[in-house]
Chain A
Amino acid sequence: MSLSELSALPLGTTASILGIRAESVLEQRLQALGFRAGREISIVRKAWLGGPLHIRIGTTEVIMRRRDARAIQVQPA
């Protein structure tokens, strides 16, 4: 797993979004929630047993499954 995947980002660190590569439903939803290239993003916590990620982007917090999070390419700050 390369470091450029969001799901591999360590807790509490901030990264910036490089791009989103997802099928259109997910891509549109992510865009509407503010996931755009250049924005800062961080993982607040990860649920146990492969559960979802708690992500903060700007003033928005969302939960997302790990496999969906793979669509987000990031550049650790």
Chain B
Amino acid sequence: MTNTVNCNKCNPDSSPLLDVMSTDGLKQIAVLGMPNTGKSTFFNRLTGANASIGNWPGITVDLLAAKIKLGQQQTQVVDLPGIYDLRGFSEDEEVVRRFLESNPVHLVIIILNSTQLDRQISLALQVKHLGLPALLLLNMADEAPKFGVHIDVDQISQRLQMPAFQISAKYGQGFAQAKSLIAERLGLQSEPVLAGVVNRNLVSDEQFTAEMSDLIAHGFEVSTQFKNTLTTKLDRVLLHPVFGLPIFFGAMYLMFQVVYTIGKPLQDGLNQGVEWFKGAAVEPLLSFLPKFPHDLLIDGLYGGVGTVAAFIPVIWIFFICMAIVEDSGYLSRSAYLMDAFMERLGLDGRSFVMSLMGFGCNVPAIMGLRVMRSPALRLLSMLVIPFSLCSARLNVFIFMTTALFSASAAPAVLFSLYLFSFAAAILTAFIFKGKYPNQEPLVLELPPYRFPTIRQMLLRAWLETQHFLRFAWKFIILGVVAIWLCNNLPQNVEPASAGTISGMIGNFLQPVLAPVGISPKLSVALIFGFIAKEIVLGGLAVIYAVKEDTGLAGVIAKDIDWVQAYSFMLFTLLYVPCLSTVAVIKAESKSSKFALLAVVWSLGLAWAASFVFYQGARALGY
């Protein structure tokens, strides 16, 4: 049970999250930059893989931070969200402002894109006006010559009164020098500085514009007319009015295949590992226990650990792929391709990508929403994605359609469930887009096409996996144990039978579930399904007291007719995908209330759809 070791660090409600966040004797560095400048790449290169998520005074979102040694000094480096403007109105801009107003720092490292310095220099100028100790890194030095950009670093440095240096965070050029420069500056700054009230300390627009023009005139030069031929050529194909969309769907199909064809065997392998460890170590160790606590620990607690572990490979590979799709610049292009359709739903193309990925597994898809910076857009997408028919649900449907429908009807039945999945997603977006209106205009940069380094991909995957474990494991394991108890208490009756708590809940819910054709036995299966849809079949096997692979199909076919079965599948499709999805919705929205809304809405929709179908089919005489 290695999972319990770090629990004092994992509770999102306790603050501060990490003990390393205590500031005694620590120098504080904040990394600031615009989006698409390689700021995170720099942060990752500087801190290695030992960054963790923590929370800070004055702000409500978590930030990535790491404790490292720079020169002789213990230093805490915080990665601030990428922003355009310190006076801006977006959530991220508010976060950065609040951070600088409430947390004194010894140094602000400003990361800007060399090729776009003519506009990005504004951020450095703002920091100068705030009087914060700062150091400017002009990143993507490797790209600047390709764009015909020449920068007079000394001029920039002089006029901004801060050291400036050109680097390539991605390939590491200039990185060692930059690091020693940072250590040196840090040594000079003994006391941390607070920004004061940001909006009050910035100068008037006229003065600001004048200073900026002066900076650009003296420090920035574009020698040739900009033509990034490779990107321009690629865009001509990838954003083509006719071929753009088919290529996009092809790319998404490929990514889907990669994630789930590689992820599945890994998941199975991990599962076998978990099972093997159970047989080899856990079972023998616990064999002295009486049956009930023995089963509770093994099927409940250890089963919960297995449930958490099962997501790791998929999340890992998913974010390797996300690193490629996002860092390459293709994700922003998907917004261009899909916007005409998605705008009507109150979403954008990036939500579409995540919803598609949700057809494999909802969990990483919901985590992936973090690339969108508008909170409303993220929340709305979080309500929509759980309706994507994931592979776990597909297993249940394949089993049941095979058991209850003829070979010729089964594919059509399965296809109709996909249609319901789309319809539920679209309906949800329509209903809730008024409640979560996206306030941020869609003005997205299309960066030149780039390929992320292996290092970038691995780090991304590692950090996201860590994030999932930190925030979701407790919720999932508790849930699995609770449901196990419902299925196995009281002890004197058969597990999952009518006498257990689950059975009683099933009976209690009959007035609600009978009108949609769901019998008490099937209700108990739905309770199993709360954990994960994979175990609905195993649950049914327990409930009907038969073997899953031999007798189950026949027994179910005898017990319920096709109308009931279809109603059950509809319900299974639409209600809460699984505990893990609820756990990530809660973690990503930082709101139990919102997670509850997602649960209640999906339950309500599941019931309504099953009701209309079941009563309609019966009324028609089926």
Asked if A12 is an interface residue, CB under 8 A from chain B, the answer is: no
B residues 84-139 in Cβ contact with A at 8 Å: 84-85, 87-90, 115-116, 118-119, 122
* Contact A48 B340, beta carbon cutoff 8 Å: yes
* Contact A25 B441, beta carbon cutoff 8 Å: yes
CA distance A50 to B338 in the complex (A): 11
B residues 131-161 in Cβ contact with A at 8 Å: 147, 149
Given the known A-B contacts A26-B441, A47-B241, are A54 and B87 also in contact in the complex, defined by CB atoms under 8 Å? no
Query: Please, what's the 1-or-0 string for A62-73, where 1 marks a CB less than 8 Å from any CB in chain B?
Result: 111100100000
A residues 22-58 in Cβ contact with B at 8 Å: 24-26, 28-34, 36, 44-45, 47-52, 54, 58
Given the known A-B contacts A25-B441, A28-B87, are A59 and B446 also in contact in the complex, defined by CB atoms under 8 Å? no
Asked if B337 is an interface residue, CB under 8 A from chain A, the answer is: yes
By beta carbon, the residue of chain B nearest A32 is B84
Contact of A63 among B90, B119, B335, B341 (CB under 8 A): B335
Task: Using C-beta atoms within 8 Å of the partner chain, give the interface range for chain B.
Answer: 35 or more
* Contact B116 A52, beta carbon cutoff 8 Å: no
Nearest CB in chain A: distance from B39 CB, A? 15
* Contact A47 B439, beta carbon cutoff 8 Å: no
* Contact B443 A30, beta carbon cutoff 8 Å: yes
By beta carbon, the residue of chain B nearest A24 is B89
Query: Please, what's the 1-or-0 string for B322-352, where 1 marks a CB less than 8 Å from any CB in chain A?
Result: 0000000000100111011101000000000
Chain A residues with Cβ below 8 Å from B116 are: 34, 58-60
Chain B residues with Cβ below 8 Å from A64 are: 441-444
* Contact B34 A32, beta carbon cutoff 8 Å: yes
Given the known A-B contacts A58-B116, A62-B445, are A50 and B340 also in contact in the complex, defined by CB atoms under 8 Å? yes
Contact of B84 among A28, A52, A63 (CB under 8 A): A28
Contact of A65 among B87, B239, B441 (CB under 8 A): B441
Contact of A31 among B85, B332, B446 (CB under 8 A): B85
CA distance A29 to B373 in the complex (A): 13
* Contact A63 B446, beta carbon cutoff 8 Å: yes
By beta carbon, the residue of chain A nearest B341 is A49
Asked if B622 is an interface residue, CB under 8 A from chain A, the answer is: no
* Contact B84 A34, beta carbon cutoff 8 Å: no
Asked if B559 is an interface residue, CB under 8 A from chain A, the answer is: no
Asked if B555 is an interface residue, CB under 8 A from chain A, the answer is: no
CA distance A21 to B149 in the complex (A): 30
CA distance A45 to B237 in the complex (A): 12
By beta carbon, the residue of chain A nearest B34 is A32
* Interface core residue of B88, B90, B222, B443 (most chain A CB under 10 Å): B443
Chain A residues with Cβ below 8 Å from B122 are: 32
* Contact A63 B336, beta carbon cutoff 8 Å: yes
* Contact B119 A62, beta carbon cutoff 8 Å: no
* Contact B88 A29, beta carbon cutoff 8 Å: yes
Chain A residues with Cβ below 8 Å from B87 are: 28
Contact of B442 among A45, A52, A54 (CB under 8 A): A52
* Contact B443 A60, beta carbon cutoff 8 Å: no
Chain A residues with Cβ below 8 Å from B118 are: 34, 58-59
CA distance A50 to B226 in the complex (A): 28
CA distance A51 to B241 in the complex (A): 11
* Contact B442 A59, beta carbon cutoff 8 Å: no
Nearest CB in chain A: distance from B209 CB, A? 8
Chain B residues with Cβ below 8 Å from A36 are: 209
Asked if B440 is an interface residue, CB under 8 A from chain A, the answer is: yes
B residues 209-241 in Cβ contact with A at 8 Å: 209, 222, 226, 235, 239, 241
Chain A residues with Cβ below 8 Å from B443 are: 26, 29-30, 33, 62-64, 68
B residues 426-467 in Cβ contact with A at 8 Å: 439-447
Q: 4 tightest CB-CB pairs across the interface, nearest first?
A: A32-B84, A51-B340, A34-B119, A49-B340
- Add 17 more A-B contacts to A25-B441, A29-B84, A52-B340 (CB < 8 A): A26-B443, A29-B440, A29-B443, A30-B443, A32-B88, A33-B119, A59-B115, A59-B147, A59-B226, A60-B445, A61-B445, A61-B447, A63-B336, A63-B446, A64-B442, A65-B339, A68-B441
Q: Mark A residues whose CB is within 8 Å of B.
A: 24-26, 28-34, 36, 44-45, 47-52, 54, 58-65, 68
5 A–B pairs (Cβ distance < 8 Å), ordered by A: A28-B89, A34-B119, A47-B339, A60-B116, A63-B442
